[in-house]
């Protein structure tokens, strides 16, 4: 029995994702593909456009098992997002290869990951210097790695070096670091179709960004239907959370430091909506994505002290043909497997249950955003895994 692991958001699932899973299985000879998928909120600090059960059903057209990546990790920075997602997959005891899509399949992921794992002082100093001069951390690290690779003749292809600042490459490096730490191999697979941020609606393989744009531009559903969710649905919830926490400041929340906390306090009177406020807060020191994550963490009440590894496997769905795989996971992993949310408290120790409770809280807020006055709501505590024949 061979299984490959894939970390995903599937926001939403599309033809490119189907190709990734198919190609990964074919190239590795794997019998199964296990996906750890973000729940109702995603790594760029926004809600997913569709709820996790809808996205799970779509993913099971190709994947065999979908487990939820807890909200605490799914909304974290690239380092924590990849670190905990990969560790969850490896901890199943059946995954020995992590596959991911990239625009640059020939990029030296393992070489770069090894350099970063060694905490090279030349690179670390270059990053510190660049951050002090006003660059964001991602830009500083990309510049430092580029200089190091050129000076050590590790790579001299400008296109490869340019890739260091691209989101999928950054995530690919973090996946590789996490995989190497757990003695797991990686398989980068070339993305097909449009690039990550391309909003073109031409061709068979559209980007998730283009699909989201199309979905959100469609006519509003009837009051009895669930709606697609976007950042605009967070407007009131974020403002309410910012007001409630204003007196104590925001540097206790994940990804937020004292300077950004002061900036939020100063500019809060100018808040009109989530997106414009995130742009208002953006500066040479803080990327737009990081600010979105901070605002989301404030809304979800995720604090620095909450970040820890307390794994459990919440099964969102599986194919009937993967029952043997689930049985094997139960045997090889010491991590609890949850199929009924109502049983979670009896299965999890206190630390892990606190992470699970955050998932319940996030799901409740998402339901508030996803439902019109009479739209059907998902009862998280009664939701069973989706099973596909």
Q: Is 42 annotated among the ligand-binding residues? A: no
Residue in the structure block whose two tokens are 């596909």: 388
Closest CA to 355 of 73, 65, 48: 73
Q: Is 335 annotated among the ligand-binding residues? A: no
Q: At 7, phi and psi to the nearest 5?
A: -100, 130
Q: Is 279 annotated among the ligand-binding residues? A: no
Q: Is 13 annotated among the ligand-binding residues? A: yes
Q: Is 101 annotated among the ligand-binding residues? A: yes
Q: Is 19 annotated among the ligand-binding residues? A: yes
Closest CA to 355 of 76, 48, 98: 76
Q: Is 15 annotated among the ligand-binding residues? A: yes
What are the DSSP E strand ranges found in the chain?
Answer: 3-8, 32-38, 41-42, 46-47, 65-69, 95-102, 185-190, 313-319, 337-338, 386-388
Q: Is 9 annotated among the ligand-binding residues? A: yes
Q: Is 12 annotated among the ligand-binding residues? A: yes
Q: Is 118 annotated among the ligand-binding residues? A: no
Taking the CB of residue 218, how many other CB atoms lie within 10 A of it?
9
Q: Is 7 annotated among the ligand-binding residues? A: yes
Q: Is 192 annotated among the ligand-binding residues? A: yes
Closest CA to 235 of 276, 183, 201, 206: 276
Q: Is 18 annotated among the ligand-binding residues? A: yes
Q: What angle do CA 275, 270, 254 make, to 5 degrees?
A: 55
Q: Is 226 annotated among the ligand-binding residues? A: no
CB 199 within 8 A of CB 213: yes
Q: Is 17 annotated among the ligand-binding residues? A: yes
Q: Is 172 annotated among the ligand-binding residues? A: no
| Annotation: binding site for ATP | 7-20, 101, 168, 191-192
**Residues flagged as binding site:** 7-20, 101, 168, 191-192
């Amino acid at each position: 029995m061979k299984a490959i692991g894939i970390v995903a958001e599937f926001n939403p699932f599309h033809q490119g994702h189907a190709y990734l899973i198919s190609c990964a299985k074919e190239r590795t000879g794997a019998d199964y593909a296990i996906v750890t998928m973000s729940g109702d909120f995603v790594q760029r600090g926004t809600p997913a456009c569709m709820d996790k059960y809808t996205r799970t059903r779509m993913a099971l057209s190709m994947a065999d098992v979908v487990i939820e990546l807890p909200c605490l990790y799914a909304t974290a920075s690239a380092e924590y997002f990849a670190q905990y997602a990969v560790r969850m997959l490896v901890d199943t005891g059946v995954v020995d290869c992590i596959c991911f899509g990239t625009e640059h399949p020939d990029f030296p992921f393992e070489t770069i990951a090894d350099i970063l794992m060694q905490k090279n002082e030349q690179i670390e100093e270059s990053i510190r210097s660049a951050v002090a001069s006003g660059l964001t951390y991602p830009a500083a690290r990309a510049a430092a790695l580029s200089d190091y690779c050129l000076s050590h003749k590790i790579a001299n292809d400008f296109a490869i070096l340019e890739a260091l600042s691209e989101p999928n490459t950054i995530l690919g490096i973090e996946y590789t670091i996490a995989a190497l730490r757990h003695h797991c191999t990686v398989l980068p697979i070339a993305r097909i179709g449009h690039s990550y941020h391309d909003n073109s609606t031409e061709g068979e393989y559209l980007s998730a960004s283009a699909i989201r744009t199309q979905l959100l531009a469609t006519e509003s559903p009837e009051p009895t239907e669930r709606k697609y969710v976007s950042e605009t649905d967070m407007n009131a919830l974020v403002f309410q959370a910012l007001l409630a926490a204003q007196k104590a400041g925001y540097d206790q929340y994940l990804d937020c430091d004292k300077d950004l906390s002061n900036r939020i306090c100063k500019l809060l009177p100018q808040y009109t909506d989530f997106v414009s406020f995130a742009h208002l807060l953006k500066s040479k020191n803080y990327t737009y994505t990081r600010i979105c994550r901070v605002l989301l963490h404030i809304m979800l009440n995720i604090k620095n002290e909450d970040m820890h590894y307390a794994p459990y496997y919440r099964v969102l769905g599986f194919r009937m043909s993967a029952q043997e795989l689930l049985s094997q996971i139960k045997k090889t992993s010491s991590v609890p497997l949850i199929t009924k949310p109502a049983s979670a408290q009896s299965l999890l120790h206190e630390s892990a249950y606190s992470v699970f409770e955050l998932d319940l809280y996030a799901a409740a807020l998402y339901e508030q955003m996803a439902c019109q006055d009479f739209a059907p709501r998902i009862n998280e505590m009664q939701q069973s895994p989706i099973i596909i024949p």
